[in-house]
Amino acid sequence: MKIAIAGSGALGSSFGYMLKKGGHEVTLIDFWEEHIRTVQDEGLTVDFNGKTENIEIPMDKPENIDERFDAVFIFTKSMDLRGMLEAIEHIISKDTKVICLLNGLGHADTLSEYVPTENIIMGTTVWTAGLDAPGKAHLMGEGPVEIQEVDPEGKEATLEMVKVMKDSGLNAVYSSDVHFTTWRKACVNGTMNALSALLDANIEELFKSEQTKVISEEIIAEFALAAKLDGVELDEEEITNYVVDISKKLGAHYPSMHQDIANRRPTEIDFLNGIVTEMCESNGYSAPNCRL
Ligand code: NAD
């Protein structure tokens, strides 16, 4: 399959590596010049669960790509999604499937402004990736990736993408309710990422304090209220236990929002706690923790 990765930072270059190793024709797309030059000159180096490998893989800026693809995986940060969709309009044909695994809420609506809904596949992933230097990424964990079509007409294509990712070692599964999964994942990011960034603590340090669980429960209650307005029922106790369980697996990890603050980059907070605040407040409820 001819695949483009639109946004080839941490997760994008790692997924590109896995899909290329899986036998697909993969092109990485990004706008970070040093990263592109390194991959063009020296190849892409990926440490996959402790095993490092260097591969040759095409990479360029959106404006230098002059072909259409069967599938495009979007891997920008939430706030760059629209900019990326505008930059890659010329590589998307009427049949191109667009897969979006970004964290955050509201992305399907943005995608539907640029891509026919039957070609949009939404999902979440708990793979963990990082960029150690230009041209050097690491991918950790075992996934999974959960995906589902937005429009029932896209089901067959979604099942094909599940197979493509599964065969490439990405542990993909078909989700029967990706809307729920997206909200559930947003609760994880809206609690531990936001608190880690605000309190300058890694996950292990955060969850040593009993107060973290109390504040997380309050944040999750606000997410559950907004989810309900969006037609999704979240079991607050189950989600809290899920967050605490994930925190134990992550240990002394600093989530991306903490890294963004440390590097003075914008964070994805507007697409997590920000959207929840707006949804609650515009419906006459308050969401003081998310507003903070
Ligand atoms: P990242 O910042 O490492 O990568 C994003 C890349 O997109 C950057 O290299 C940037 O240069 C590029 N980009 C942005 N706008 C562009 C444009 N208009 N044209 C060309 N390139 C552009 O981010 P990441 O960590 O890979 O995360 C991507 C998404 O996946 C986020 O929503 C994140 O929350 C989610 N996610 C990340 C992880 C992880 O472990 N890294 C895990 C699960 C989900």
DSSP 3-state of 173: strand
Q: How far is the CA of 11 from the centre of ligand 1 (A)?
A: 6
Residue 250 has what pLDDT? 85
pLDDT at 249: 86
pLDDT for residue 88 is more than 90: yes
Catalytic residues: 185
Q: Ligand 1 centroid vs 231 CA: distance in angstroms?
A: 28
Report pLDDT digits (tens) over 224-272: 999 999 999 999 999 999 999 989 988 888 998 998 999 899 999 999 9
**Closest approach atom of ligand 1 to CA 11:** 26
Q: Is residue 146 over pLDDT 90?
A: yes
User: Average pLDDT, stretch 176-194?
Assistant: 96
- Is 103's pLDDT higher than 90? yes
Which residue among 33, 35, 39, 75 is best mutated to probe the pocket of ligand 1, counting the most ligand atoms within 8 A of its Cβ?
Answer: 75
Q: 5-21 pLDDT, tens per residue?
A: 999 999 999 999 999 99
Half-sphere exposure (CA, 13 Å, Cβ side) for 46?
24
Contact criterion met (CB below 8 Å) for 181 and 156 = no
Q: Find the DSSP H helices in the chain.
A: 10-21, 33-42, 81-87, 107-112, 155-167, 178-188, 194-199, 203-208, 210-229, 236-250, 256-262, 273-282, 288-291
Pairing of strands 44-48, 128-133: unpaired
Residues facing 153 on adjacent strands? none
| Span from the CA of 87 to the centroid of ligand 1 (angstroms) | 15
Q: What is the pLDDT of residue 40?
A: 98
Check if 107 has its Cβ closer than 6 Å to any atom of ligand 1.
Answer: no
Whose CA is closest to atom 41 on ligand 1? 129
- Asked whether 48 lines ligand 1 (CB < 6 A), one says no
Query: Band of the pLDDT at 30, cuts 50, 70, 90?
Result: very high
